[in-house]
Structure 1
Amino acid sequence: MRALRRTTALAGVLGLTALVASATPASAATNDPLRGKQWGLTQVRAEQAWPTSRGAGATIAVVDTGVDLTHPDLAAKLVPGATFVGCTGGATVCSDGNWKGVDGVGQEPDAHGTHVSGIAAAITDNGTGVAGVAPDARIMPIKVLEDGSGNTADIARGIRWAADHGADVINLSLGSLPGTQVLSIVGVDPEVEEAIDYARTKGAVSVIAAGNTSTIACTSPGFSSSGICVGSTDKNELHSAFSELPIKPDLKVVSAPGGFAFGACDDDVWSTVPTEATSGCGVAGYDAFAGTSMATPHVAGVAALLLAQGRTVDQTEKAILTTARTPVLGLRGQFSPLYGYGVVDAQAAVASAR
């Protein structure tokens, strides 16, 4: 499934696809022009965490549709990446993670990975565009989807490559159709889940989108993998109508800002898009999307803040889960079907005991 660009939800295809679908207004503590529209950054209390950690030394692999490698809000943050779709001559890996792919053509759905990257770690306080949750973290562009979709083999290869090349966080804003969880559960198609397990052995935290089809559990690979599954909230901290309920067997689930999808641009999540892409909200190089795809990099950014403190994978996951807060009730680390363990809280997470 793909990002919900304004009001249209695009269905998934065979294999895995990109998962893209009033509250207290965002403050503008940085000089990024669009920071005031980034209610999600405010909801996860990212800025309050920055005096403690800004993510320096951590690398977030965005395993997705690739990234605009020249975007002014991302270019200086990028480490070498790789492409796993469209390779020729029998190669399974090629190119550098550019969103345009090996054919040099940038399709509209492939703006997705650039958008995800900006949420997690856009250059911050540079007088340009948006701010990122982990402003000093690096982004590793891994292109495993073309025209918004791909297959489990390429995605698994991308995850393993990222883990082998120093990724600390694996962001998977992608997923399969509801019901396909059974394939990995019965061992028919476990490649992505096994790759996530491998990344964990290499010290990487995986965060995975829950899905955008309003069912009662995370879609695959979020449902059956060892990573954290992420549901979506809107700007009022309500569970987003399009989002899967963040439920999986091991209960490693949280929520984060993903937008509304059926309202105005500012009801959704603003971030970077390729400078050559058309912006549905009228700002060149930036757009507002909705979806659990947008929720997931908020959590990836918080994971980077924690790993930059020297925490292990287990310590990082524990901090995210135990400090997340349930809206209205204000409870922390308490599971509920609507929010999982709650909305991620960067400030509380980085201040938590190790």
Structure 2
Amino acid sequence: MTGRRARMRQYAVAVMATATATVATALTGVTPARAASVADYSFNDAGATLTDVRRITRDDVAAQRGYTGKGIGIALIDTGVAPVEGLTSGNVANGPDLSFESQVANLRWRDTYGHGTHMAGIIAGRDTGASGFKGMAPDAKLLSIKVGAANGAVDVTQVMAAVDWVVEHRDDDPRNPIRVLNLSYGTDGVSSWTKNPLSHAVQNAYRAGIAVVVSSGNTGGAITNPAFDPYVITVGATDMRGTTAYTDDQIASFTSVGAAPRVPDLYTPGRSIVSLRVPGSMADAGYPSARVGDRYFVGSGTSQATAVATGAAAVLLQRYPWLTPDSLKCTLRESGPYVGAATSGGRMIDLDRATAKLPTLCKLVGPQSTGTGSIQEARGTSIVSLDGVPLVGERDIFGPLRSATWAAASTAHRSWQGGEWMGRPMTGTGWAGTQYGQANWAARQWSGTNWAARAWSDIDWDDATWTNRGWSNTLVNGVPWGARTWSGVSWQHASGGAWMK
């Protein structure tokens, strides 16, 4: 047992041994109802700012009590985080870049899509200036692990590798151990979660004490993989209908609501959320009408809702650091009302109540994934391809991969050895310094490794060079990737209206 886990266990035992009477005494006279001083109001048609979102979720009241996510590490597996204003004050670091763009020095770690930066702003953004921009957990430590390319393309095995890396490195920063993992990603792979490799990866994180927060999907129907796994916190989106009162909220039309017994655990704001923009990114170039001024961008989807829930989880973990992933889910779920006229399914979040009342302790008991199922079935139709050659079958981007072999190594926390995942040289072995206000993990070239009979070093990455100016006002020289684009996008922005209001 690691030192941190031993300390956590000792702390939890000590807290529970005093019974709830001690905590109840400390909370005597504190009502779980929302603070009377918080007034509801309408916001404008340009979208819900993070000030609006924090008010809707009562995150602003929790912050008044001193709960801002401090001491909590959050892993964001996404398309990278650009060092734009709001993400350069020292609470954001770049872990390994496992994306296809990791082989291009000027694109490494950077968010050429614009998705990950939007999520990071919602979760832990904070300005040092007078703008007052704040995410849900502005004092949490955010660690970005990039897996998605300029159009969001990523293979499911890259996501599995990223989750494994987070688990094995969760205690690297003892002051901010990773307690929450945000995964705004899903595939339509329908293999049972009891065998699904991606389910197995997130369950390993769960067993390591990391709460995995996953978007339900944006099809309006079935919940995606791995959100259908019962061990994760699955999040759907609400449409706030232009007010900060949750009495008029509705489930957003694009939200994958699933069917009993697997429905979203939580519903949080996900319609027209204003967060940080990456000028010149794929999303920015594709949806110019979604820009709000020079710095911000409006996005809709269960991705945005998941980021809200992730920040809320960090806030609650600062309040009750001994909560397990199960009890964290139950406490968040019990804090708010059902959406609209619903009387079952997921509920909304009220951090005023969650931080003022005793937490709800619970434990999920049941079967777990073996991880030995088909990798191809886990992909579903989310297939990446280059020059028309698809990546299919029981393999990753480097070659054949047996799920049973990987599952055993992942369970034992041995899938990573230095900078190699399952023997594949994917990244460096330590930190490579700080640039633009963000620390960066070292990179590694994939040259000499072939996929589809082509060496990675031979691939010509067209029109993908960043200019040399500062990131706060830098534009990309044209739309990234030019005519050479990785196909296959699985990031959970609202389908049919991605990034639009």
Instruction: State how far apart, in whole Å, the 2-side matches of 1:142 and 1:148 are.
Output: 14
Instruction: State how far apart, in whole Å, the 1-side matches of 2:240 and 2:122 are.
Output: 15
Instruction: State how far apart, in whole Å, the 2-side matches of 1:160 and 1:248 are.
Output: 30
Q: What is the match of residue 156 of structure 1?
A: 160
Instruction: State how far apart, in whole Å, the 1-side matches of 2:181 and 2:267 are.
Output: 17
1:140-179 correspondence to structure 2 within 5 Å: 140-146=143-149, 147-166=151-170, 167-177=178-188
Q: What is the match of residue 31 of structure 1?
A: none
1:57-89: CA deviation from partner (whole Å, max 9, x where unpaired): 111111111111x2220122113411112278x
Q: What is the match of residue 292 of structure 1?
A: 302
**Paired residues of 1:230 and 1:295 also in contact (CA < 8 A):** yes
Instruction: State how far apart, in whole Å, the 1-side matches of 2:146 and 2:260 are.
Output: 27
**Paired residues of 2:257 and 2:263 also in contact (CA < 8 A):** no
Q: What is the match of residue 47 of structure 1?
A: 60
Deviation at 1:184, TM superposition (A): 3.7
1:245-284 correspondence to structure 2 within 5 Å: 245=257, 247=259, 249=261, 253-259=265-271, 268-277=272-281, 278=284, 280-284=290-294
Say if 1:213 and 1:87 are closer, same or farther in 2 by CA, change over 3 A. closer
Q: What is the match of residue 315 of structure 2?
A: 305
1:96-107 correspondence to structure 2 within 5 Å: 100-101=107-108, 107=112
Deviation at 1:247, TM superposition (A): 4.8
Question: 1:226 is paired with a residue of what secondary structure?
Answer: coil
- Which letter does structure 2 place at the counterpart of 1:315? S
Question: 1:149 is paired with a residue of what secondary structure?
Answer: coil
Q: What is the match of residue 237 of structure 2?
A: 232
Deviation at 1:220, TM superposition (A): 1.2
Deviation at 1:209, TM superposition (A): 0.4
Instruction: State how far apart, in whole Å, the 2-side matches of 1:346 and 1:124 are.
Output: 22
Deviation at 1:224, TM superposition (A): 2.3
**Paired residues of 1:323 and 1:344 also in contact (CA < 8 A):** yes
TM-score (norm 2): 0.54
**Paired residues of 1:130 and 1:270 also in contact (CA < 8 A):** no
Say if 1:37 and 1:149 are closer, same or farther in 2 by CA, change over 3 A. same
Q: What is the match of residue 201 of structure 2?
A: 195
Deviation at 1:275, TM superposition (A): 4.4
- Which letter does structure 2 place at the counterpart of 1:151? D
- Which letter does structure 2 place at the counterpart of 1:145? G
- Which letter does structure 2 place at the counterpart of 1:172? L
1:315-330 correspondence to structure 2 within 5 Å: 315-328=327-340
Say if 1:159 and 1:247 are closer, same or farther in 2 by CA, change over 3 A. farther
Mark the structure with the bigger radius of gyration.
2
Question: 2:93 is paired with a residue of what secondary structure?
Answer: coil
**Paired residues of 1:247 and 1:253 also in contact (CA < 8 A):** no
Instruction: State how far apart, in whole Å, the 2-side matches of 1:80 and 1:95 are.
Output: 16
Say if 1:114 and 1:37 are closer, same or farther in 2 by CA, change over 3 A. closer
Q: What is the match of residue 14 of structure 1?
A: none
Instruction: State how far apart, in whole Å, the 2-side matches of 1:301 and 1:159 are.
Output: 19
- Which letter does structure 2 place at the counterpart of 1:115? H
Worse-matched range after superposition: 156-165 or 300-309: 156-165
Q: Verify: 1:65 aligned to 2:79, yes or no.
A: yes
Instruction: State how far apart, in whole Å, the 1-side matches of 2:335 and 2:237 are.
Output: 17
What fraction of aligned residue pairs are identical, expressed as a percent?
26
Give the superposed CA RMSD. 2.8
- Which letter does structure 1 place at the counterpart of 2:41? T
Instruction: State how far apart, in whole Å, the 2-side matches of 1:252 and 1:52 are.
Output: 29
Instruction: State how far apart, in whole Å, the 2-side matches of 1:186 and 1:36 are.
Output: 39
Deviation at 1:37, TM superposition (A): 6.5
Q: Verify: 1:183 aligned to 2:197, yes or no.
A: no
Instruction: State how far apart, in whole Å, the 1-side matches of 2:239 and 2:225 are.
Output: 23
1:190-230: CA deviation from partner (whole Å, max 9, x where unpaired): 22211111111221111100111111x32111012510111
**Paired residues of 2:74 and 2:140 also in contact (CA < 8 A):** yes
**Paired residues of 2:123 and 2:136 also in contact (CA < 8 A):** yes
Instruction: State how far apart, in whole Å, the 1-side matches of 2:266 and 2:164 are.
Output: 24
Q: Verify: 1:214 aligned to 2:217, yes or no.
A: no
**Paired residues of 2:77 and 2:162 also in contact (CA < 8 A):** yes
Q: Verify: 1:24 aligned to 2:41, yes or no.
A: yes
Q: 2:139 aligns with which of 136, 157, 160?
A: 136
Deviation at 1:312, TM superposition (A): 2.1
Say if 1:282 and 1:251 are closer, same or farther in 2 by CA, change over 3 A. closer
Say if 1:153 and 1:24 are closer, same or farther in 2 by CA, change over 3 A. same
**Paired residues of 1:129 and 1:272 also in contact (CA < 8 A):** no
Question: 2:115 is paired with a residue of what secondary structure?
Answer: helix
Q: Which runs of 5+ in 1 are unaligned?
A: 1-22, 28-33, 89-93, 260-267
- Which letter does structure 2 place at the counterpart of 1:318? C
Instruction: State how far apart, in whole Å, the 2-side matches of 1:87 and 1:273 are.
Output: 20
Q: What is the match of residue 343 of structure 1?
A: 348
Deviation at 1:243, TM superposition (A): 0.9
Q: What is the number of residues matched between the two proteins?
A: 293
Instruction: State how far apart, in whole Å, the 1-side matches of 2:101 and 2:127 are.
Output: 34
Deviation at 1:234, TM superposition (A): 1.0
Q: What is the match of residue 367 of structure 2?
A: none
Deviation at 1:163, TM superposition (A): 2.4
Q: What is the match of residue 10 of structure 1?
A: none
